[in-house]
A and B are shown apart, each in its own frame.
Chain A
Amino acid sequence: MITVENLTKTFTLHILGEKKIEACHDVSFGVPPGGFLGLAGPSGAGKSTVLKCMYRTYLAGSGAIHYQSSAYGMVDLATLSDQAVIDIRHREMGYVSQFLKVIPRVSALDVVMEPILSRNGVTRDVARKRAVSLLERLRIPTHLFDAYPATFSGGEQQRVNIARAVSWRPRLLLLDEPTASLDQDSVGIVLDILKELRQEGTTMIGIFHDPALLQSVTDSVYHIS
């Protein structure tokens, strides 16, 4: 479903005298529909860079990212128009990082409901039920549902973040250390949720720091050096 070919990303820092930093070099891999690929490698090897290039937060330097989109057919995410990337992000592709980046002054429940409402075409009631059940499952205390996640603990923020990312059931999900600051129990819950999402057909590419975890959830691993 998605094939990365010879992806290379170099940052040119003009304000530091044209300093060049190569973030990843000649990365190639493929993921079949419904597959779960893990990205492994030492810190600084460029794992997050690869994910960000796929999500187009970074512009790929060279190489291609072929993606079989349900709306657009085969596209190259490295060169696709901004407008089409926005649309694909909206309909098909999710991204979850280890940091919660949410809109200020929006309650936890609304943070999770928003993508369901805007993408799945369901009623408020259905969206609300789905969001509540996700948050409950991820053990966010009920009394925090209408509070702003900016005030939550690190672990709670991350769980809200995951709830938001999976709530609308994206077709392709990019995971950048989604379990980094969670305790053992929470990690187990998150993995169960990801497993269910895969059963529903979501293709995933993920970075996990823990090698045991990486082996257990993914069905293939690409090593970046």
Chain B
Amino acid sequence: MQPLIRIRGLTKRFGSGCDRCLDETGPEHDTNLCPHCGSVLACNDLSFDLFPGEALGVVGESGSGKSTLVRLLHFEWEASAGSMEVHRSAVGSHLLAEMFPDNGDYSKNLLLLSHFQRRQMRNALMGIVYQNPHLGLRMGISSGGNIAERLLGAGWRNIAKMRRRAAELLEKTEIPVQRMDEPPANFSGGMQQRVQIDKALSNNPLILFLDEVTTGLDLSVQARVLDLIRNLRSEFKLSMLVVSHDLGVINLLCQRTMVMKAGHIVEDGLTDQILQDPQHRYTQLLVASQL
């Protein structure tokens, strides 16, 4: 099986950078801050594949670069270096000629596309759910409107169809359809999270980014959101990148897991292997720290 997306050498540096940045940051120095030029290497030379239909976990402490990774892949921030390529099977025919000029299996580097093209690719391929619903939703406009906004971005134009799609998704995630015209600000945290999931799924993305989606929810709500994600995954055949510091969440959702520390991937493997036979010092500490 070929990867759905290939990430190579992905790097995000905040600051001017110097020629000693790469050597003097990372897990062995326990920092991502360069002592010479003061640059922060939030993500440093990350390479990995995401396969069709798989849930890939990303664990690591605060500041390890997990969320930066998601923001780079979701084109919210500009990468300093590296490439992201998508398999041609994932791309609609109208974009094929543009994205695969040499007719290969993998697209050109998506990170170098124009703003417009990146937005096109994002709308066609990706959905995202943030830890903080305020980042993913407009709290003042209706929940249906939030979903419609995403659909508009993906090229939908028929209002009645958009309403039907929104209602269908809200129903699936157990939000009463009669509350579709209420703004998410009226909803509980768990409901807001589910509206975010609806919005992310509305255009049938192939890749779903989940950034600490259950952090801060109470346990029973957390359980329902996780059950929902699990069911959606089997129903929609999504690939997911699941960012969490909670090993329980990762264990429940992901077959494969990467461990990040100070901007690097220090270890990756099958999730049960990472949890039961961790190799890296930091992973051992993380697993031993579990409640």
Contacts and interface: CB of A to CB of B under 8 A. Distances in A.
A26 B271 CA distance: 26
B168 interface: no
A57 B223 contact: no
B277 A11 contact: yes
A190 interface: no
Contacts, number: 46
A13 B51 CA distance: 31
A57 B276 contact: yes
B270 A15 contact: no
B276 A105 contact: no
Nearest to B252: A103
Given A13-B284, A15-B284, A86-B256, A52 B269 contact: no
B223 A59 contact: no
A91 to B, nearest CB: 12
A183 interface: no
Contacts of B280: 14
Contacts of B273: 56-59
B1 interface: yes
Contact of B51 (A58, A83, A85): A83
Contacts of A103: 230, 252
A14 B270 contact: no
A61 B230 CA distance: 34
Contact of B276 (A15, A58, A82): A58
Contact of B281 (A14, A57, A83): A14
A105 B252 contact: no
Interface residues of B, number: 23
B1 A85 contact: no
Interface residues of A, number: 18
Interface string B276-291: 1101110011001000
A105 B256 contact: no
Contacts of B270: 56-57, 82, 85-86
Interface in A6-20: 11, 13-15
A59 B256 contact: no
B227 interface: yes
A73 interface: no
Interface in B203-234: 223, 227, 230, 234
Interface string B103-139: 0000000000000000000000000000000000000
Of B1, B269, B270, B281, most buried by chain A (CB within 10 Å of CB) is B270
Interface string A65-101: 0000000000000000011011100000000000000
A83 B277 contact: no
B1 A87 contact: yes
Interface in A135-163: none
Given A14-B281, A82-B270, A103-B230, 11 more contacts: A11-B277, A15-B281, A15-B284, A15-B288, A57-B277, A58-B273, A59-B277, A82-B269, A83-B256, A86-B270, A87-B1
26 contacts: A13-B284, A14-B281, A14-B284, A14-B285, A15-B281, A15-B284, A52-B277, A56-B273, A57-B272, A57-B273, A57-B276, A57-B277, A58-B273, A58-B277, A59-B277, A59-B279, A82-B268, A83-B1, A83-B51, A86-B255, A86-B256, A87-B1, A103-B230, A104-B223, A104-B252, A118-B234
